Amino acid sequence: MSCVNAKGWLDPVESCPSPNCNNRPDPADISLLVIHNISLPPGEYGGSCIRDFFCNQLDCSAHSYFEQLRELEVSAHLLIERTGKVVQFVAFGQRAWHAGESVFAGRGSCNDFSIGIELEGTDDQPYTDSQYERLVGVTRLLMQAYPRITSQRIVGHSDIAPVRKTDPGPAFDWSRYRSLLQEDT
């Protein structure tokens, strides 16, 4: 990854455009980074299920868990797979549908002003070294492109929707991530 291009996509990473997005009320208001986790089926890694889910192409008959996802329209800006591979689903200038009902610093509707990054994982299984390395690299690029995202404005989904969400969970090492983010900056 070298930059955020003029259209709001990371260069060069794989793009897999999701229909689950729309216009932000104010594209200049990007000021929050939200870290999530996802695995489909839960606890299983690899395959195309996350991509299919974010692109409304998930075969809900393929696994019993998927039935509860049938009517959902969800996306994130980025997914960082266990291998460290980054996939982008929504341009940063667009509103991805990742946070749901949420509040940060007294302000609701966090999708309006945030970027959502999904880590392939679960609340209770350690994330990979490759994921931390990529997350730090992506975070630095985003902080350069969107200077209103500061280290104080990087949160977990659980921080903005604590009644509904637990991700990225206790397995996410916030100290490690923040320490790596501060190195050489």
81 is catalytic: no
Domain-located, residue 54? no
* pLDDT at res. 183: 85
Confidence of residue 112 (pLDDT cuts 50, 70, 90): very high
What is the pLDDT averaged over residues 97-120? 98
Backbone phi, then psi, for 79, in 5-degree steps?
A: -125, 135
Domain-located, residue 46? no
In contact, 127 and 177? CB cutoff 8 Å:
no
Q: What CATH number does residue 34 fall under?
A: 3.40.80.10
**Mean pLDDT of all residues in the chain?**
96
Domain-located, residue 65? no
Cα–Cα distance for residue pair 66/49, rounded to 1 Å: 10
Domain-located, residue 45? no
What is the pLDDT averaged over residues 153-159? 98
Q: What is the pLDDT of residues 118-154, one digit of tens each?
A: 999 999 999 999 999 999 999 999 999 999 999 999 9
Check whether 2 has a pLDDT greater than 90: no
Domain count, the chain: 1
pTM (two decimals): 0.97
Domain-located, residue 99? yes
Domain-located, residue 129? yes
List the domain range (segments joined by +) for residue 82: 3-38+74-182
Q: Tell me the residue type at 15.
A: S
Domain-located, residue 139? yes
> Reduced to 3 states, what is the DSSP secondary structure of residue 93?
coil
Domain-located, residue 43? no
Count CA atoms within 13 Å of residue 175 on its CB side: 2
Q: What is the pLDDT of residues 38-64, one digit of tens each?
A: 999 999 999 999 999 999 999 999 999
Check whether 1 has a pLDDT greater than 70: no
Which of 44, 71, 101, 118 is flagged as catalytic? 118
